[in-house]
A and B are shown apart, each in its own frame.
Chain A
Amino acid sequence: DAKTTQPPSMDCAEGRAANLPCNHSTISGNEYVYWYRQIHSQGPQYIIHGLKNNETNEMASLIITEDRKSSTLILPHATLRDTAVYYCISTGGGNKLTFGTGTQLKVEL
């Protein structure tokens, strides 16, 4: 599985878009990019995943660069409840996910 690199922390104003970057420069052709988040003391929660194309669901959008070396998770209108640690994971190994240290997103008034 490719190693991912994320900033340790980010701040965002409530109501604004939160853009969380992830670098996965060694990703291989069959590896997906997954995003999870973990709200304090809860189990991680799946957000979205993609391979090549940009993806959108009710929670977020995932933008993957054309060379697939990086991606951005977008929360279009962040709320205080989006404060959490966000994990970017790349894997081709089916459901086996290896979590890194993630980005602590703090949404503030």
Chain B
Amino acid sequence: DAGVIQSPRHEVTEMGQEVTLRCKPISGHNSLFWYRQTMMRGLELLIYFNNNVPIDDSGMPEDRFSAKMPNASFSTLKIQPSEPRDSAVYFCASSLGFGSGGTNTGELFFGEGSRLTVL
């Protein structure tokens, strides 16, 4: 199993540019999560999906951030326009969620993260 795959691993961009982060969850998982990690704020849950539907986006900082999950095997997190304070490591995670029909252990599988630097 390849695990959760995120791209790009590193992104350096200038303020005002659009940034798109991508995530491929583990096959068969039906819940997907986007987290952001900074030294100041730690790990923050931005949004999560269940069966491709956004369930809770209360952690999305502002309208500049948007997330989509067009199908079960792909999700994007977009920042437009980007600002220096968006610099962080963005993690995607997946799990067997609600309605999976299987045993839900609550175990999240995290990707290796996308390190974003906005200059």
Chain A residues engaging chain B, CB cutoff 8 angstroms? 32, 34, 36, 38, 41-46, 49, 87, 91, 94-101
> With A43-B113, A46-B109, A49-B105 in contact, is A99–B42 under 8 Å at CB?
yes
Q: How many whole Å from B69's CB to the nearest CB in chain A? A: 15
Which secondary structure dominates where chain B touches chain A? strand
Q: Which of B78-119 contact A (CB under 8 A)?
A: 89, 91, 93, 95, 97-98, 104-113
Tell me whether B75 is interfacial, beta carbon within 8 Å.
no
A65 to B112, CA, bound (A): 34
Number of contact residues on B: which range applies? Answer: 20 to 34
Q: Select B95's contact among A91, A95, A101, beta carbons within 8 Å.
A: A95
Which secondary structure dominates where chain A touches chain B? loop
Q: Select A46's contact among B56, B108, B112, beta carbons within 8 Å.
A: B108
Tell me whether B34 is interfacial, beta carbon within 8 Å.
no
Q: How many whole Å from A85's CB to the nearest CB in chain B? A: 9
Residues of A within 8 Å of B12, CB to CB, are none
Q: Select B104's contact among A34, A91, A95, beta carbons within 8 Å.
A: A95
> With A43-B93, A44-B43, A101-B42 in contact, is A96–B110 under 8 Å at CB?
no
Q: How many whole Å from A7's CB to the nearest CB in chain B? A: 16
A66 to B48, CA, bound (A): 33
